[in-house]
Structure 1
Amino acid sequence: METVKLSSKGQIVIPKNIRDNLHLPPGTEFVISMTATGLTLTPTTLFPRVTAREVRGFLAKRGRQIPDDVDIKASIKARLKAQDDASK
């Protein structure tokens, strides 16, 4: 564990060994979130968002129909609702 200081400009420096271990190049953008115990820094994705249509067929199996974006979103929504209902 390392200790860092907040500068007068509200900046912190991520120690070099941590940057190297996590492969964080200069210019990496982060999402910062407040948690119950403090702050969490999460690097934003290195890969651009794509739609199912753009990667259609990438992992396709013969004879299997590839769902479209609407079907995928509906499936995700149904699974999240089922998980939410199960946790109540």
Structure 2
Amino acid sequence: MPATPEGLTTIVSTKGQVILPKAIREQRHWASGTRLTVEDTAEGVLLKAAPMFAETNVDAMFGSLGFEGKPKSIDEMDAAVAAEAKRRARD
């Protein structure tokens, strides 16, 4: 990642708001509305783009989508994926 331009400053408003310099926003691809996490570190404040989804694992998600019926075999699933890929290739 390229180094950030030196000498950029900003001011904390009476509401505690800070405007990030355009060069930094563009370098980070932070558009208006980007959610950021704020972390207090020994060297200062660290801003990072917030993840779009909360971290999770397979165990937490297992069974979250209900399905009634006979389970599909791996061969049946492979055939369904291939058929959908073929269908989308025609469209």
Distance 1:52 1:34 in 2: 31
Aligned-residue sequence identity (percent) comes to 31
Q: CA shift at 1:39, angstroms?
A: 0.8
Distance 1:21 1:47 in 2: 23
Name the larger-Rg structure.
Answer: 2
- Superposed CA deviations along residues 43-80 of structure 1, whole A, max 9, x for unmatched, are 102466464488xxxxxxxxxxxxxxxxxxxxxxxxxx
TM-score by length of 2: 0.50
Distance 1:3 1:35 in 2: 19
Match of 1:45 among 41, 47, 51: 51
Q: Structure 1: which 4+ aligned runs deviate by more than 3 Å?
A: 46-54
Aligned-pair Cα RMSD in Å: 1.9
Q: Where does the alignment leave 5 or more consecutive residues of structure 2 unmatched?
A: 1-5, 62-91
Q: Secondary structure at the match of 1:28?
A: coil
Name the structure 2 match of 1:30.
36
Aligned-partner residue type, residue 31 of structure 2: P
Q: Where does the alignment leave 5 or more consecutive residues of structure 1 unmatched?
A: 55-88
Count of aligned pairs between the two proteins: 54
TM-score by length of 1: 0.51
